[in-house]
Structure 1
Amino acid sequence: MMTLVRRRAALCALALTTVLVGCSSGGPAAPGRPGRPATASPPTLAPGPSGLPPVFAHGPRTKNRTVALTFDADMTANQGARAAAGERFDHPELVTTLRRLKVPATFFMTGRWAEEYPDQAKGIGRDPLFEVANHSYSHHAFTGNCYGLPTVAPTRMRADIDRAFAAFRKAGVKRAMPYFRFPGGCYDEQSLRTLAPAGVTAVQWDVVSGDAFATDADAVARQVLDGVRPGSVVVMHCTRSAAPTTERALRTIIPKLRERGFRFVKVSEQIRAQRAAEPRS
């Protein structure tokens, strides 16, 4: 991790002119705690001594060989005209494949995506196989100089997070998890401090799939299979327009990882395991 606590992933260098999109959904928030259900609160990580929320990138590296597949839905606030013209920022076939193979997954979604595909957002958000988390409303960057993305003013960051949770609720998702993935994977100390009052845990990844604009499904599969370790979090996308090979890659990735003894879990299970592994004071 760099001095300014900034972590960037090569996969998310996808937004100079076209910003990658995926599939996911969100859900209702308890009052004052966006995305947090009224009962059975999902696991989160406590702030560190400095008050900064920790950044979760992978689960415990234990013999319990878990891996979390995560899918970003980063449709931006200004891509409505492209969607109206026929560009598809969803990928129902990918979601069907996950269901057919009974693979749990975590979807990080922008509020704009939920507005564009409310029925799909609702369906994914209410499926117990999946969980949904926040990827901002606009998919504008929370730092400067983030792969060409427009930036959110510091005074608007909290509102952008809250607006996404509101869009998830309007789409009919029962609940969204209190996890947040920074657009472009870019963050610094200032943007991290935004998350503390928002009541969310920052979630990144340790395996970049390389599916952004990829044309070779086998290459995507190899990159994931070469990178996965126990506890890994894999970042992928589920959009027909900007990640067309991901669904085909999954048909290789999933059985191969199962052959290696990996068990697919949601991010919440890995965070729960991380909390259990931490020393108690």
Structure 2
Amino acid sequence: MITLSSCEVGNREAAQGAVEVSGAPTVTTTPTLTPTVSRETTTPSAVSTPIPIAQDTPTIPPTIPSAAPSEPRSSPSLDFSSLEKTLIERYGNAKPKKWGENVPGVRTHLTTKEQVIALTFDACGGKEGSGYDEKLIDYLIKENIPATLFINARWITANKDIFAKLAANPLFEIENHGTEHRPLSVNGKLAYGITGTKSVNDVIHEVKDNADQIEKLTGRRPVFFRSGTAYYDDIAAGIVHDLGFQLAGYNVLGDAGATYNTEQVYNALLKARSGSIVLAHMNHPEKDTAEGIMKAIPELKKEGYRFVHLASYTLN
């Protein structure tokens, strides 16, 4: 099934509705915001040391347990140049075996039986992707609806004052949508016509540089990463894990890169279920995402659903 998750490409026959997927969880730490909604009680698990990956059989460590949400961490104390060298040595000659939105390590559901949904909105940046859907955000604020915002470095540069206001509002959890909004690859693989990162070093900086910027501006280091187009190869996914982040996928395609009309957005959201993660966009005010969201949320509320941050729950 082909789904569209990039805000920089045109409409194509994207799947409408929920896409049920799963991936092997891989995480080292799970820092979080103080939640503004009730959260599921979990017990932290011991975290295993990342397993070195053999050059001829690249894979992501499958046995690292999930960790419950914890307090925000401070900046990594490990000297970055040493970490970068270690990762290049570990993954430099590894050859990817998997490619797509749901490689092992991509987390697509909240681990819960509660009637909760995580709304996530990407802000991709760039020439045609640096707009601000004020109608959407104002509606979320008016209705007191938490949401997780995946922000690209280019969008931050184009919207510094708006970013500061969003980051200061506890309704919004700020997460990492990359530095140049690229698919995450070690060999330049394309997704929807966008060239991916081309090396281990490129992967590291696509993730880390924007995380550093967000931490500097907000005082909180992102917990989750979502690449441009939401595509990864398995080597890149392992690198993200070793950098200390979780890969945030989705199981409800909310607006197909802001190409859905109002009814399509509405119908997609009504297929959300307990623990669903919805992917939509907040950087195209000229599109119909806001109208579809505003139409769907009252219906979901009537069905008993609440809306939560990603970091308020363990993901799987």
In structure 1, what residue type is equivalent to 2:266? A
1:260 counterpart = 2:300: no
Report the Cα offset of residue 168 of structure 1: 2.2
Report the Cα offset of residue 36 of structure 1: 5.7
Matches within 5 A, 1:149-160: 149-154=194-199, 155-160=201-206
Q: 2:195 is paired with a residue of what secondary structure?
A: coil
Q: 1:152 is paired with a residue of what secondary structure?
A: coil
1:178 counterpart = 2:220: no
Note the residue ranges of structure 2 that are not aligned, 5 or more in a row.
Answer: 12-27, 35-41, 52-59, 65-104
Residue 233 of structure 1: aligned partner: 277
* Residues 239, 13 of structure 1: alpha-carbon distance in 2 compared, 3 angstrom cutoff: closer
**Does the 8 A contact of 2:124 with 2:130 survive in 1?**
no
**Does the 8 A contact of 1:72 with 1:107 survive in 2?**
yes
Q: 1:251 is paired with a residue of what secondary structure?
A: helix
Note the residue ranges of structure 1 that are not aligned, 5 or more in a row.
Answer: 1-7, 19-32, 276-281
1:192 counterpart = 2:243: no
Of stretches 142-151 and 106-115 in structure 1, the one that deviates more from structure 2 is: 142-151
* Residues 9, 232 of structure 1: alpha-carbon distance in 2 compared, 3 angstrom cutoff: farther
Once the two structures are aligned, what percentage of the paired residues are identical? Answer: 21
Report the Cα offset of residue 204 of structure 1: 0.3
The alignment covers a number of residue pairs equal to 237
**Does the 8 A contact of 1:135 with 1:182 survive in 2?**
yes
Distance 1:141 1:252 in 2: 31
Residue 122 of structure 1: aligned partner: 164
**Does the 8 A contact of 1:69 with 1:105 survive in 2?**
yes
Distance 2:228 2:30 in 1: 18
Matches within 5 A, 1:15-94: 15-16=8-9, 50-51=60-61, 54-60=105-111, 62=113, 64-76=114-126, 79=127, 89-94=131-136
Structure 2 residue corresponding to 1:164, chosen from 210, 217, 233: 210
Report the Cα offset of residue 173 of structure 1: 2.1
Residue-by-residue CA offset, 1:238-274 (whole Å, 9 max, x unaligned): 1235x61111112111111110011100111232xx5
Structure 2 residue corresponding to 1:209, chosen from 254, 259, 270: 254
Using structure 1 for the length normalisation, give the TM-score: 0.74
Using structure 2 for the length normalisation, give the TM-score: 0.66
Q: 2:196 is paired with a residue of what secondary structure?
A: coil
Q: 1:247 is paired with a residue of what secondary structure?
A: helix
Cα RMSD after superposing both structures: 3.1
Report the Cα offset of residue 141 of structure 1: 1.4
In structure 2, what residue type is equivalent to 1:55? V
Structure 1 segments (4+ residues) deviating >6 Å: none
